[in-house]
Amino acid sequence: MHFSQLRTFVSIAREKNLTRAAAALNLSQSAVSTQLKGLEEQFGVALFERGARGMELSAAGGMLLRQAEEILVACSAMQRSAEALSRGATVSVSIGLNTDPTFLRISATNQRLSLLHADLKIAFQSSETAQTVDALRNRILDIGYFYGTFQEPDVLQQVIAQVPVCVAIPKKFLQDGQRISWQTLVALPWIWVNDQFPFYRVLAERMEGGRQFPARIVTATNEQIVRELVASGQGVALMREDEARPLVDEGRVVLWEQGWGTVPLSLCWLREMDSDPRIAAVRDVITYVWADRPLDQDGVVDNSIWI
């Protein structure tokens, strides 16, 4: 399979006509026909059906077209990156990740940055929420994700999404069909990160009504450790709903009181760097990636899992 064959495939799909596709590619019609035939033989499927309206995509062609387009886009981005490197025009930007890359949509972010800003060298670094501002000030990060909001005069911030959080309870602590009160819940073992972790600020806000605060028995340093301990049935914890759902599907936990709370997912950068084109590029791409599929479209938890 050659790059030129994919270009031919995509061009015919757009033009729906061999003659027009050949003109668009600046090739002869016979050359275009030969490239298409070679690609179909290699794939083992017919990509088009000839009809009264011209060349129409076959079922197989329709399934393969998007992949072909993505390959061409990726090749173009790679070419631009190589050209930028040859000119010595590369600049770098460091992005802090406060949680797992999948949740933060890092793959989509990196792809779009590579496509639109080929001269930008991206460095992703792990950074806990509580450390993000100091990392900016110490020039370890240029821009970073964090949970919550804050008031720092030298730092700007932008809320990206509202993240639903929930109380996840290992099933081993409950009898089938048992309804559970807050008094019963706080008596169970809990897993904690630290008092400054934004999830637990949500808990503190809920406790303002005079509810008893849970006893802490295990302290974990990050969300991944919390998830592992909850999954193994060692304690109750506050978790992102999207992280708790797989544990529910596996029959390990149930969730308490639907709509329990949300935590902002935000970006921050130094005020003095606000006009830096690198910061603007990253901020715009991340905003686009999240606006393209808001968090509330990532799935809905079935009401039956809540107690």
Rounded average pLDDT over 249-276: 86
Give domain 3-86's CATH number out of 1.10.3720.10, 1.10.540.10, 3.40.190.10, 1.10.10.10: 1.10.10.10
How high is the pLDDT of residue 72?
80
- Architecture field, domain 163-262: 3-Layer(aba) Sandwich (3.40)
In terms of pLDDT, which residue wins out, 54 or 295? 54
What are residue 121's DSSP bridge partners? 92
Rounded average pLDDT over 156-182: 86
Average pLDDT, the chain: 83
How high is the pLDDT of residue 46?
93
pLDDT, one tens digit per residue, over 296-307 is 544 444 444 445
Residue 188 C-beta-side C-alpha neighbours within 13 Å:
23
Count Cβ atoms within 10 A of the Cβ of residue 273 and give its class: 0-12 exposed, 13-18 middle, 19 or more buried.
Answer: middle
Instruction: Give 69's pLDDT tier (boundaries 50, 70, 90).
Output: confident
Which residues have CB under 8 Å from 250's CB, separation 6+? Answer: 231
Most confident of 28-32, 65-69, 218-222: 28-32
How high is the pLDDT of residue 302?
46
Rounded average pLDDT over 127-152: 91
In terms of pLDDT, which residue wins out, 121 or 266? 266
pLDDT, one tens digit per residue, over 6-47 is 989 988 988 888 888 898 888 899 999 999 999 999 999 999
Q: Which regions of the chain carry the CATH code 3.40.190.10?
A: 91-161+265-297, 163-262
CATH superfamily of 91-161+265-297: Periplasmic binding protein-like II (3.40.190.10)
Q: Judge if pTM exceeds 0.75.
A: no
CA–CA gap between residue 145 and residue 133 (Å, rounded): 10
How high is the pLDDT of residue 298?
46
| Phi/psi of residue 54, nearest 5 degrees | 105, -150
CA–CA gap between residue 177 and residue 67 (Å, rounded): 47
In terms of pLDDT, which residue wins out, 51 or 5? 5
Could you tell me if 253 and 171 are in contact, meaning their C-beta atoms sit under 8 angstroms apart?
yes
